[in-house]
Amino acid sequence: MIDRSLEGAGRTVLVTGAAGGLGRAFALGFAARGYRVAVADGDADGAAESAAKVRAEGAEAFSTHVDVTDPDSTAALAAAVAEFGGGRIDVVLNNAAIYAGITRSPLEDIDPDEWDRVMAVNLKGPWLVVRACSPHLPEGGRVINLSSATIYSGSENWLHYVASKGGVVSLTRVMAKELGRRGITANVIAPGFTLTEASHGLMDDAATYGVDRGALRRASQPEDVVGAALFLAGPDSGFVTGQTVVVDGGRQFI
């Protein structure tokens, strides 16, 4: 049995959108592997709470507010995380996204202002965060961007969300090419419908939604997605880049 508990010793991971849900699960998962964990979110109090939970697990943690749509805010974030990490950021995990607050409506009825807001957070955000962190990424560094499995099946009345998450895949492929010259990988995780606080807020039957369509007949929990991130950040994925890992319990095969 391989002991993975110190796999991240001496390494720093930045998780955006880490005030709760998947982001908090990522933070705790990396803490369990010995990483220093920097948590960032537009909700500063939520980020601080996540950092406290990481510290309770015995790992070093740093929390801060960030607006991922703002170049100055993301630049300040990168500088602060690099200082926390001793001059480097080993893993950037772009989880921040607008999800539950989106109005589901036909393409003809989408508010252009909401379209712009979704694209700013979900697509522009990962670019700005990686752009700011790039000078601090060492050889062997990792970029992990969150998309969604719905880009493969489509989701009616959610055009702007699906389009933004499809864009994340294309963005990451270009990052993989450019950052690869420096020995840095860039990959995507595309989770299926996962039971987070946000998902429960979307529908009354969240706990059973889509379960009958999966090869594994149960609902996805945030912890189910964490393993893919740990793999893409760890030593066993050093020759994996530009790829999309779907984590949906076999609801669709790509």
Catalytic residues: 161
Query: What whole-number distance in Å separates Cα of residue 253 and Cα of residue 50?
Result: 33
Tokens in use for 13? 């991971």
Q: Which amino acid is at 172?
A: T
Query: What whole-number distance in Å separates Cα of residue 137 and Cα of residue 109?
Result: 41
Task: Give me the residues paired with residue 244 across strands.
Answer: 188
What are the b/e assignments for 27-62, b being 16+ CB within 10 Å? bbbbbbbbbbbbbbbbeeebbbbbbebbeeeebbbb
Query: What whole-number distance in Å separates Cα of residue 138 and Cα of residue 253?
Result: 34
What are the b/e assignments for 137-158, b being 16+ CB within 10 Å? beeebbbbbbbbbbbbeeeeeb
Q: Which amino acid is at 242?
A: G
